[in-house]
Chain A
Amino acid sequence: MRITVKAVGAAAALLLTTPAFAGWEPAKPVEIVVAAGAGGASDQMARMMQAAIQKNNLMKQPMVVSLKGGASGAEALMYMKSSEGDPNKVLIAYSLIYMLPLSAKIPFNWRELTPVSVVALDQFVLWDNSAGPKTLKEFVAAAKAASSPFKMGGTGSKREDHVLTVFLEQKTGAKFSYLPYKSGGEAATQLVGNHTEANVNNPSENLEVWRAGQVRPLCVFDKERISYTTKVTETQSWADIPTCKEEGVDVQYLMLRAMFLPGKVTPEQQAFYVDLFHKVTQTTEYKEYMEKQALKPIFLTGKDMVQFLEEDDALNKSLMTEAGFVAK
């Protein structure tokens, strides 16, 4: 409730003060807090924003990326929680804000932070080694026929990748051994080295090994295909990857990428960042990044964002419960 009031206030403040900056702007360097390790999708996105802001002079103060991937990202969440009232820290959040409190009982609730904006939605793709089966059907058949379960690599335990694996098992009847690695990059390399049979990495995490012809995308976990039609490899674009639903396995999942401030910041401070990240989404750096990493562009703020978060939270909670990942 408090959040909603605040968000409405912020939207009002934004209306009153556009297009110029709201009365407030940061007086010291702004920390962009990444809840993951170096080189992961969050880190890459934070670096893109850092560069976009600096190159286009969107803010007087510099922006620094601070990696707080400890405890599978819980470190970043607790850090934001304890920074109440500090307007110089922005979290680049993803679905862990719903999942970690459920699976590991981290004393954290995203409603204690100040929402700024949702800046993108990330896809998940089922990949196998390019020497492996060529379509989802063949892959499922091979997994079922295998004497020991296929190994599925992913990031962390009881998180997006793990949930997707469980639902893939439920819908196909095949069994997988899920191997939790520390990062998507590691999961990618392990697939290339044939230590796992598949992974469900985000497009950005497998992009380079796909371009090198070492892995093959089988299907994307969304209701529609990815829209980008520029060729990524010699023969394929992102849009050429079928959806899992088309291939007969209806599993869908999209992950938010959203910005949050700590709790108890003023509406002026919130408005400044809403405006800042809105400008970021207008830059060519952002647009190129969206296309290259096959992200869905989106910009939600204020009431729309809170509504989105509530719905997304409920969805993630039901998935986690169904997968049996909620700690008692």
Chain B
Amino acid sequence: MEAFGLLLHGFAVLLTWKTLVLMMVGLVLGIFVGVLPGLGGPNGVAILLPLTFTMDPTSAIVMLSCIYWGALFGGAITSILFNIPGEAWSVATTFDGYPMAQQGRAAEALTAAFTSSFIGSLVAVLLITFLAPMISSFALKFGPPEFFAVYLLTFCSFVGLGREAKHKTVISMSLGLLLAGIGMDTVSGNLRMTFGSPELLRGINFLVAVIGLFGISEILLTMEERLALRGHAAGISLRVVLGVWKDLPKYWVTLLRSSFIGCWLGITPGGAIAASFMGYNLAKRFAKEPESFGKGRIEGVFAPETAAHASGTSALLPMLALGIPGSGTAAILLGGLMVWGLNPGPLLFVEHKDFVWGLIASMYLGNVVGLVLVLTTVPIFASILRVPFAAVAPMIVVSCAIGAYAIQNAMFDIWLMLGFGVVGYVFKKIGIPLAPFTLALVLGNRAEDAFRLSMIGSGGTLKVFWSNGLVGSITTLAIVLLFWPVIDGLLGRVGWTQGARATSQ
């Protein structure tokens, strides 16, 4: 119960008018930067960081983390309304969120996204509050083989559990892995596939690719098909919100599963992005009618958003306790901490109790206040869809271009974004799924590094992936998931599972 006392102390630190006002300001700013595609959390926090230098550390971090929560909430808005994910982990939200918006259920999708974000973060914060010391020692168990096993698990679950044709998933994933290899190779220190071009040195930025693949290609498709956004009849009222909430208990398994996956991957440093994809895939796997996923199913919004926010929140723990940022935004927050002379590390929890517990308390308050704030503004955002396409499309393209440029201040990235827009358009036309491509692009490098480091460490034997219980069970699970359709089919034949009839098809 020591944690409980400390948490109350944290609230006491926090509950002053000044911090509450800063909190509101941070949330509103965060939602704004979150809504602009590409600008997102990391840039928003980076721009506003110097504002906080003159504040005391606790107020400063409360404001910054509220910008972070705001941006997380805001990121879901563009994913759902325009099919443009703001952060890496919003990608899976577009799969069902965007179709829902097209069917005129934008308000419902937004409510579902915000609510599940709230639930995911809440579970993660509870975890941080009560299990912080245990979790940081768990994260230390991760060496290169364990990291590789987690990435392998993500890739395998995609191939094994995805509904798309397996060969198309593999093609898409391989292309992503290929592009991920561009740039400096950390392990050998050599350049790869840069063809002497200085622009290619830094590799292909994931967000630039995503803005093009999802945002620009969607504009192209819409132009070809009908020159109108399909969501004009978005129903907007308190009834919608209450309606979604009333249905929540029906999805408790999905919410719980996604929260668990999110927390688990979030405390694995760098695992946050994988979480939303896994949450989505597993929800699809265990659903009664998996074919309805991707066509505007509310569960397809609940699952990835819950997982993403659970992991996004629990990712702050390795940052505080180990100094390893789990996401781009967490990395900027890390820089901020150092300015105030707070060095993340095992002693932060001991030496700066006020700060740490103030931050944790602000996660509770920021989440509640943020939820209320975004829910009251759902109607405003959903009504964007009523604006004629001819007026909205140029604005989307411009904000995509600004976003792509702002990530690395590079003109080249705008061309890259347009190129990916065309690639995305072609992929959609020939039915190649985009998700495995983006997943491979974001995790490819890390998976490769982890694999090669494991090999250097083990002297080249694959046994290292079964060298202890933790890595062994993750690797085995990955392989089981990869061959799941086959295994499920075999089990079904001998009458062991009922899932067989849904999948052998």
A72 touches B186 (CB 8 A): yes
Q: How far does the alpha carbon of A54 sit from the alpha carbon of B346 in the complex, in Å?
A: 30
- Partner of B347 from the list A63, A104, A212 (CB cut-off 8 Å) is A212
- B443-456 toward A: CB 8 Å interface, digit per residue (1/0)? 00000010001001
Chain B residue with Cβ nearest A325: B189
- Partner of B140 from the list A38, A62, A182, A189 (CB cut-off 8 Å) is A189
Assess whether B421 is interfacial by the CB under 8 Å rule.
no
Assess whether B190 is interfacial by the CB under 8 Å rule.
yes
Q: How far does the alpha carbon of A203 sit from the alpha carbon of B144 in the complex, in Å?
A: 24
Assess whether B459 is interfacial by the CB under 8 Å rule.
yes
Assess whether A137 is interfacial by the CB under 8 Å rule.
no
Assess whether B331 is interfacial by the CB under 8 Å rule.
yes
B335 touches A71 (CB 8 A): no
The prevalent SS among residues of B at the interface is: loop
Assess whether B430 is interfacial by the CB under 8 Å rule.
no
Kindly specify which of A18-26, A44-52, A273-281, A305-313 makes contact with the partner chain: A44-52
Of the listed residues A71, A105, A151, A212, the one surrounded by the most CB atoms of chain B closer than 10 A to its CB is A71
8 other A-B residue contacts (CB within 8 Å) besides A50-B50, A70-B408, A106-B201:
A67-B335, A151-B457, A156-B189, A162-B189, A181-B186, A207-B345, A208-B348, A212-B345
Q: Which of B261-282 contact A (CB under 8 A)?
A: 269
Q: Which of B329-354 contact A (CB under 8 A)?
A: 331-332, 334-335, 338-339, 343-348
Q: Which of B295-351 contact A (CB under 8 A)?
A: 322-325, 331-332, 334-335, 338-339, 343-348
Assess whether A103 is interfacial by the CB under 8 Å rule.
yes
A189 touches B323 (CB 8 A): yes
A177 touches B50 (CB 8 A): no
When distances are taken between beta carbons in the complex, the residues of chain B under 8 Å from A196 are 457
Assess whether A218 is interfacial by the CB under 8 Å rule.
no
Q: How far does the alpha carbon of A193 sit from the alpha carbon of B457 in the complex, in Å?
A: 14
- A182-225 toward B: CB 8 Å interface, digit per residue (1/0)? 10011011101101100000000001110110100000000000
- Partner of B335 from the list A65, A70, A78, A104 (CB cut-off 8 Å) is A65
The prevalent SS among residues of A at the interface is: mixed
When distances are taken between beta carbons in the complex, the residues of chain B under 8 Å from A325 are 189
Chain B residue with Cβ nearest A162: B189
A185-B323 contact given A50-B50, A157-B186, A212-B347, CB 8 Å threshold:
yes
Chain B residue with Cβ nearest A79: B409
Interface size class of A (residues with CB under 8 A): 35 or more
Assess whether B390 is interfacial by the CB under 8 Å rule.
no
A104 to chain B, nearest CB (A): 5
The 4 closest A-B pairs by CB, nearest first: A208-B345, A70-B202, A195-B143, A157-B189
When distances are taken between beta carbons in the complex, the residues of chain A under 8 Å from B456 are 177-179
- B142-169 toward A: CB 8 Å interface, digit per residue (1/0)? 1110000000000000000000000000
- Partner of A51 from the list B53, B141, B324, B348 (CB cut-off 8 Å) is B53
When distances are taken between beta carbons in the complex, the residues of chain B under 8 Å from A39 are 323, 325, 331, 334-335, 338, 344
B328 to chain A, nearest CB (A): 9
- Partner of B198 from the list A43, A72, A82 (CB cut-off 8 Å) is A82
Q: How far does the alpha carbon of A51 sit from the alpha carbon of B60 in the complex, in Å?
A: 14
- B162-190 toward A: CB 8 Å interface, digit per residue (1/0)? 00000000000000000000011111111
A302 to chain B, nearest CB (A): 30
Assess whether B486 is interfacial by the CB under 8 Å rule.
no
When distances are taken between beta carbons in the complex, the residues of chain A under 8 Å from B339 are 47-48, 50-51
Q: Which residues of A contact B (CB under 8 A)?
A: 37-39, 43-44, 47-48, 50-51, 54-55, 62-68, 70-72, 74-75, 78, 82, 103-107, 148, 151, 156-159, 162, 177-182, 185-186, 188-190, 192-193, 195-196, 207-209, 211-212, 214, 325, 327
Of the listed residues A39, A64, A159, A192, the one surrounded by the most CB atoms of chain B closer than 10 A to its CB is A39
A71 touches B184 (CB 8 A): yes
A186 touches B184 (CB 8 A): no
Assess whether B203 is interfacial by the CB under 8 Å rule.
yes
A93 to chain B, nearest CB (A): 17
When distances are taken between beta carbons in the complex, the residues of chain A under 8 Å from B335 are 38-39, 43, 47, 65, 67
Assess whether B191 is interfacial by the CB under 8 Å rule.
yes
Q: How far does the alpha carbon of A157 sit from the alpha carbon of B457 in the complex, in Å?
A: 15
Q: How far does the alpha carbon of A179 sit from the alpha carbon of B191 in the complex, in Å?
A: 18
- Partner of A44 from the list B202, B338, B449 (CB cut-off 8 Å) is B338
- Partner of A38 from the list B185, B334, B348 (CB cut-off 8 Å) is B334
A195 touches B144 (CB 8 A): yes
Q: Which of B113-164 contact A (CB under 8 A)?
A: 140-144
A121 to chain B, nearest CB (A): 20
